[in-house]
Amino acid sequence: MGGAGAEDSDPGAEPGNTDSSGAEPGETDPGGRNWRRTAIKLLQWALAVGAFWYVARGVDWAATTAELVTLSPLVVVGILAITVLEFGSRFSMWYALLNGREPTPLATTARIDLVIKFINHVIPSKASGHSVAPLVLRYYTDVDWTEAVSISGLNTGLYAALYGLTALAGLAVFATRLGSGWLLVILLSTGIYLVAGALVLLAGRRMDVAGRLASRLGGLLSRVPKVGDRLEGVAGALPTFTADSASVFRRLSTKPSVVVPYALGWAGNLMIFPALRVWLLLTALGGEFSPAILLPVVLVMAYSVTVLPLTPGGVGVAEASATAVFVSLGVAPELAPVVILVDRTFGVYLPAVIGWLPAANVDLADILARRDEG
């Protein structure tokens, strides 16, 4: 199941870091470590199931299913067309970055995006998924490690900065209408996006300053009750730049022909097309959101919790967060969960499932092992 680049070793992984049992140097109980990982995964999936229950508990699913089945064909076609355009936007993000280096087929960038999307639902959080991007790039293209790290880092930095700024704008408008619990969670996730984006973009230009800030950030996050260790892991998943990769990063990040198309693709993928899909479905079911023009910002804000390593890929908690936000902002409680679940199905779970197809031809075990070694 290998492919180009699958046999290369991670330059960030030093030989001798593990023995044949997989234990780290000085670790005498690899079995205990595996047990803890399994327990954490089970806890995460239990949390995901509980979050789905929270979302679904107030919905009359028999009546809702009947309404969905009788939707106008024009609405169904509209949702499908919007989803196709959304896929094009998501593929255009990697297309913009890779073509800043040399011409790369859209089909290749689509495979890269879909495989990373699939991996995001195998390991705990979006930040962890981004940490395997250099390996996926190496698998599908001829970029060297310097270029792979710089391109992946630029993707992480731009993605996080755009997400954080957009979510912050949503909080500035709607904070007073949100419940205190969800407000704190969204503030935390928005802050992580902003800090992560700033650190990565800064690291591409000033590695020394970014290194000191990252160290302090990891220590600060580790003190957060209950999830401190997991949040510290998110900080540790940020890309580490060498001098050469930082040089490539600086060159790409100053190209308008790279940054502008990326930002437009990001906006289409995470704001414009999801908002159109939600608005179309909500209107068809007899609901409304006012003002509709702010739906793109609200969705980014509501889904920001996916950066927290609470469940794999944010499964469950994203739906719970978005449902709570929509109800707080006036959407009918019986409609909010339905439109959010449909939106997440088409915008998140469908590309993740499709991503299994190219991922089936990739040695994922090898990729994930290299991530853990790096």
pLDDT of 233 reads 56
pLDDT of 4 reads 36
pLDDT of 99 reads 93
End-to-end CA distance of the chain: 22
pLDDT of 278 reads 96
Where do the domains of the chain lie? 30-373
pLDDT of 273 reads 97
User: Quick check: helix, strand or coil at residue 19?
Assistant: coil
* Tokens 């593929």, located at residue: 91
pLDDT of 149 reads 85
pLDDT of 85 reads 97
Here the tokens at position 315 are: 């499964």
pLDDT of 198 reads 87
Distance CA 270, CA 265 (A): 9
Q: Could you tell me if 322 and 340 are in contact, meaning their C-beta atoms sit under 8 angstroms apart?
A: yes
User: Quick check: helix, strand or coil at residue 36?
Assistant: helix
pLDDT of 60 reads 76
Torsion of CA 197, 260, 134, 364, to 10 degrees: 100
**One-character DSSP codes across 313-370:** GGTTHHHHHHHHHHHHTT--TTTHHHHHHHHHIIIIIHHHHHHHHHHTTS-HHHHHHH
**One-character DSSP codes across 215-284:** HHHHHHHTTSTTTHHHHHHHHHTS----HHHHHHHHHHHT-HHHHHHHHHHHHIIIIIHHHHHHHHHHHH
Question: Which pTM was predicted?
Answer: 0.77
The list of the chain residues with pLDDT below 50 reads: 1-27, 124-125, 208, 371-374
Distance CA 159, CA 288 (A): 29
